[in-house]
Amino acid sequence: MTMPALFHLAFPVRDLATTRSFYGDLLGCREGRSAKRWVDYDFFGHQISAHLVDADDATLATNEVDGDAVPVRHFGAVLPWDDWRALGQRLLDGGADVIIEPRVRFAGEIGEQGTFFVRDPSGNALEFKSFRDMNQVFAT
């Protein structure tokens, strides 16, 4: 059997200890290889690499999407509906920095989805979403 394509994302962080707490403990991502200035995680079956930076000049630009100011620079995962709901509750209960609380976006339209946004301790925005009908992920 051929392994499906995986994505890899490297992103800046300001502190590896708080990064480990957020991605490892709160999100439940398994830690992979690491070195003095970076750490890899299994992010829902994909590889992400948190790289320690001394300064990050990322802008906090947003775009309006269905009434929300969505951070332009973000990454995340599309999860099964029940997993999405459970993760949203775990992050709310765990004190995550919530940007947009769990909600249904585009209700009754093509692409209806559950979504929420959080920031990690370094200010990186993450979106977690779900579709009741996974055939809607790329619907136009």
pLDDT in tens, 57-90: 666 688 888 888 888 889 999 999 999 999 999 9
| Domain spanning 62-136, CATH class | alpha beta
CATH second-level architecture of 8-52?
Roll (3.10)
Output phi, psi for 24, to 5 deg: -80, -55
Residue extents of the structural domains in the chain:
8-52, 62-136
Supply 22's token pair. 């957020």
Whether residue 100 has pLDDT greater than 80: yes
- What pLDDT score does 61 carry? 82
Decide if 8-52 and 62-136 have a common fold: yes
Cβ–Cβ < 8 Å for 46, 5: no
User: Residue 55 — pLDDT band, cuts 50, 70, 90?
Assistant: confident
pLDDT in tens, 25-47: 999 999 999 999 999 999 999 99
